[in-house]
Structure 1
């Protein structure tokens, strides 16, 4: 695998699905529909068979588990070109955005900021801000607590003002689910909490941070650029054209 594909594998380990099956170097993932990353095939490396056959296996896996077939693939990679040639199309309907920027930054400890802490267990307030309306389920909670995770919380008074998730994989800190409550925005809490979770990462042996942001999220992209994050690569989600994804076993 090349560097973008290796990093995608790292990110997948930081966001573990409930079911994962290898397809050569590709990975078939299921988490009952909670997030695209945990419910798509990660198309990196060699699937061990022609791409057309690999995509049929993606369809079989997805249909057997009641999710829509979808692949996540590094943008402009040989795998993406082969997937497009097989008749699949960009997943423009994907609610979180089908084109994603992967950003990285070196980690250095930040001075402690009062009110910002990273916990070993999620707090009730962390759950309240992390899960979007309609997302709360046992599966979602299992995905978000899988692996070695730090739960960043910024408090104002007795309330939870902002949250973030940090997951450790080897020497990488995967950052996700940064959210600031509407009443507390534009106070610098996002940057402060990012500093807290990055310090937590260095304390646990991480040397670099990685995060994934939808290309259309200009506010988040500007925030992370200001914190020293730079583009590493991009990925996209692809889905079969209508009527083209039939189970090979049917």
Structure 2
């Protein structure tokens, strides 16, 4: 249910053989022996189970993965507990937990002139005691506006993408039997996450990390002590799987734990229907870049943050 399918059905039976027809679309209902499929043009087909001769799940229509589209996917995988919309801008606040969840995701036009939009945004963040930050892609016209207005850049990072089937092939011989994958954020996982302010995390932090349905958490624990020694997170949204928070305790590094975490999460993402993997990595994070280079990930686009030159009053 909810997946795109291709169904071949019998249309008629003739003396010289059967006539078949195919239906491709989203399976929206299946009851009383009848499948209801919505085609791409919005038309509806109802197919009797008895008429089906073959069926399979198929990938959704290919859409070019633009920086704007990928930034939107990434934003939805890291949801702030408090948001507001200004045109095509998404204002996010999470009590200061990570820049991503406490910045404006500028994916287009705000619907008003830039100076007025800045006044509204500054006021929104001022009420929450937070500095105003914008997350912008390189060469965005609004980024140039902020640069000219004296907003300093920080947090330079890269968005990287790769085909999950290639990553799975590279990792096929990696032993991931010690990796546990959960569909909910656990205290064990959180205790190793370096961004966590406390062992149990705050409400805003847990909201962001838990993410939308389709978010999975991988953990490797020390068999003797039961403490976590490696963690990772993946968020599957349709055909896209976002990897994050792959961390290994310093005392247990260079033993293959990171690759085991990524293998377990990649396998689960593929099983969930994802095709393309993505991740956000700071430009100077060499270990992470080397890990994903080996899996076939390449740079998709760059982005950074712009901070208000004036502190909140």
TM-score of the two chains, using structure 1 as the length reference: 0.89
Shift of 1:2: 8.1
Aligned equivalent of 2:160: 103
Unaligned runs of 5+ in 2: 1-63
* Structure with more of its chain in helix, by fraction: 1
- The equivalences for 1:6-155 within 5 A come to 6-91=69-154, 98-108=155-165, 109=168, 111=172, 113-132=176-195, 134=197, 136-148=201-213, 149-155=215-221
Q: Distance in 1 between matches of 2:93 and 2:248?
A: 28
**Deviations 1:122-163 (Å, cap 9, x if unpaired)?**
333211112535252121111111212101112341332210
Q: Distance in 2 between the 1:46 and 1:40 partners? A: 16
1:120, CA displacement in angstroms? 1.5
Equivalent pair of 2:131/2:308 in contact (CA under 8 Å): no
How far apart are residue 121 of structure 1 and its match? 2.3
Q: Does 1:221 align with 2:278?
A: no
CA distance in 1, matches of 2:194, 2:81: 18
CA distance in structure 2 between the partners assigned to 1:41 and 1:159 by the alignment: 37
C-alpha deviations, 1:33-65, integer Å up to 9, x for none? 000000000112111122222222221111011
Number of positions where the alignment pairs a residue of Structure 1 with one of Structure 2: 239
Aligned to 1:204: 272
Residue 72 of structure 1 aligns to a residue whose secondary structure is strand
Residue 16 of structure 1 aligns to a residue in which SS? coil
Higher RCO (CA < 8 A, seq sep 6+) = 1
CA distance in 2, matches of 1:18, 1:103: 26
CA separation in 1, counterparts of 2:285 and 2:230?
18
SS in 1 for 2:191: helix
TM-score, structure 2 as length reference = 0.72
Alpha-carbon separation, structure 2, partners of 1:182 and 1:103:
25
How much does 1:79 deviate?
Answer: 2.0
Between the aligned partners of 2:189 and 2:125, the Cα distance in structure 1 is 31
- The structure carrying a bigger strand percent of its residues is 2
Give the Cα–Cα distance (whole angstroms) in 1 for the partners of residues 121 and 256 of structure 2.
Answer: 43
Contact between 1:191 and 1:227, CA under 8 Å: does it hold in 2?
A: no
* Residue of structure 1 in register with 2:262 after alignment: 194
Match of 1:94 in 2: none
**Corresponding residue for residue 241 of structure 2:** 173
CA contact (8 A) 1:58 1:70 kept: no
| RMSD, aligned α-carbons | 2.0
Q: Distance in 2 between matches of 1:44 and 1:137?
A: 29
Matched, 1:163 2:231: yes
Give the Cα–Cα distance (whole angstroms) in 2 for the partners of residues 210 and 83 of structure 1: 27
CA offset digits 1:83-117 (Å, max 9, x no partner): 222332213xxxxxx10111111112454622023
Is the 1:100–1:212 contact (alpha carbons within 8 Å) kept by the matching residues of 2? yes
